């Protein structure tokens, strides 16, 4: 059954919005935020206006490939729109696991999370952070439906994180701490990094090989750790090059196959990224470990 097809509809946006029973408030938050980012991205990305639906689902209505609370974009045939942005209406074990990973690796870092994302009872509520991830998933809609031909999965993740950071920086600067504290703490934990490198995956080639499934599929919390690092990289690129880096990223790969995706490695992409997108990005990809 198509994702969101039986859910209630919220009108008044430049895209379709569906939501589970009891999730109207969260759907409005996601749709309002996405509508602002949609106009911003359409201006930057060649006038692209992808035909999408945003679906805000409860755990009972979740149709994600990963755990509840891990948002995603999909463009499979037979959906209610060519692109679907699926967001959760609340947290779950995945959000709890992110916090627990950091609490075990860095109690001081965890205290910073609780101070930034308090639940009102002395605990952690990552909802404000994941509200912003709506923009990340919207970025995938522009990437996929706008014919951005990125040769690797991980380059797509870097692109949409840069898009999200650029939008928040230029339109919602007061929410930059909400966007930055979790990945700063997660990427900055040496103990967490050591555990991922010894027990999980850590290179860009590892990510490409193991994220999408199979016998050696990546643990969702290992994937979250990559996202911490990509989010910090996006901040570095934006701080160095501003919105222009995002526009160059789009221009470099839009509607053209710049490289052979079957032969692409991080090392082979680094010179192109350095010369045509951002020297900061190129160095980070070249030196990733």
pLDDT, one tens digit per residue, over 141-161 is 999 999 999 999 999 999 999
**What percentage of residues in the chain have a pLDDT greater than 70?**
98
Whether the per-residue pLDDT at 214 is higher than 70: the answer is no
Number of structural domains the chain divides into: 2
Q: How confident is the model at residue 196 (pLDDT cuts 50, 70, 90)?
A: very high
| 110: Cβ contacts below 8 Å, ≥ 6 apart | 99, 102, 103, 124, 185
Q: What is the pLDDT of residues 20-71, one digit of tens each?
A: 999 999 999 999 999 999 999 999 999 999 999 999 999 999 987 789 999 9
Q: What is the dihedral of CA 119, 61, 100, 287, to 10 degrees?
A: -110
pLDDT for res 1: 76
What is the phi/psi pair of residue 278, to 5°?
A: -165, 130
The rounded distance, in Å, linking the Cα atoms of 234 and 273 is: 14
Q: Do the domain assignments include residue 131?
A: no
283-287 LR contacts (CB < 8 Å, sep 24+):
284/233, 284/236, 284/237, 285/204
Q: What is the pLDDT of residue 262?
A: 84
Query: Who contacts 287 (Cβ-Cβ below 8 Å, separation ≥6)?
Result: none
Mark whether 223 and 281 lie in a shared domain: yes
Q: Indicate whether 189 pLDDT > 80.
A: yes
Q: Name the helix (H) or strand (E) containing 9.
A: strand 8-9
- Same domain assignment for residues 104 and 220: yes
Domain that residue 3 falls in = 1-91
Exposed/middle/buried for 265, CB within 10 Å: 0-12, 13-18, 19+?
A: middle
Q: Tell me: the pLDDT tens digits for 238-271?
A: 999 999 999 999 999 999 999 988 889 999 999 9
Which of 45, 72, 91 finishes a domain?
91
Residue 212, pLDDT > 90, answer: no
Domain assignment present for 136: no
The predicted structure's pLDDT at residue 42: 97
Question: Is residue 59 domain-shared with residue 195, that is, in the same domain?
Answer: no
């Amino acid at each position: 059954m198509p994702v969101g097809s039986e859910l209630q509809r919220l009108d008044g946006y430049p895209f379709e919005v569906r939501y589970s029973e009891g999730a109207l408030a969260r759907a409005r938050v996601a749709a309002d935020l996405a509508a602002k980012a949609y106009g911003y991205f359409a201006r930057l990305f060649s006038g692209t206006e992808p035909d999408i639906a945003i679906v805000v689902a409860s755990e009972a209505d979740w149709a994600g490939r990963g755990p509840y609370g891990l948002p995603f974009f999909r463009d499979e045939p037979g959906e209610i729109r060519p692109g679907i942005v699926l967001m959760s209406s609340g947290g779950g074990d995945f959000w709890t696991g992110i916090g627990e990973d950091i609490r075990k690796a860095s109690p001081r870092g965890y205290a910073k999370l609780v101070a930034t994302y308090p639940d009102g009872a002395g605990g952690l509520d990552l909802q404000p952070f994941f509200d912003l991830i709506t923009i990340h998933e919207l970025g995938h809609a522009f990437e996929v439906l706008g014919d951005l031909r990125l040769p690797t999965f991980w380059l797509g993740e870097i692109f949409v994180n840069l898009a999200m950071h650029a939008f928040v920086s230029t339109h919602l600067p007061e929410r930059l701490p909400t966007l930055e504290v979790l990945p700063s703490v997660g990427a900055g934990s040496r103990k967490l990094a050591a555990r991922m490198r010894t027990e999980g995956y850590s290179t860009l080639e590892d990510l490409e090989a193991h994220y999408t499934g199979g016998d050696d599929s990546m643990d969702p919390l290992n994937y979250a750790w990559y996202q911490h690092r990509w989010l910090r990289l996006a901040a570095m690129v934006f701080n160095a090059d501003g919105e222009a880096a995002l526009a160059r990223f789009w221009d470099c790969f839009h509607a053209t196959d710049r490289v052979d995706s079957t032969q692409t490695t991080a090392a082979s992409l680094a010179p192109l990224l350095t010369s045509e997108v951002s020297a900061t990005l190129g160095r980070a990809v070249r030196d990733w470990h």
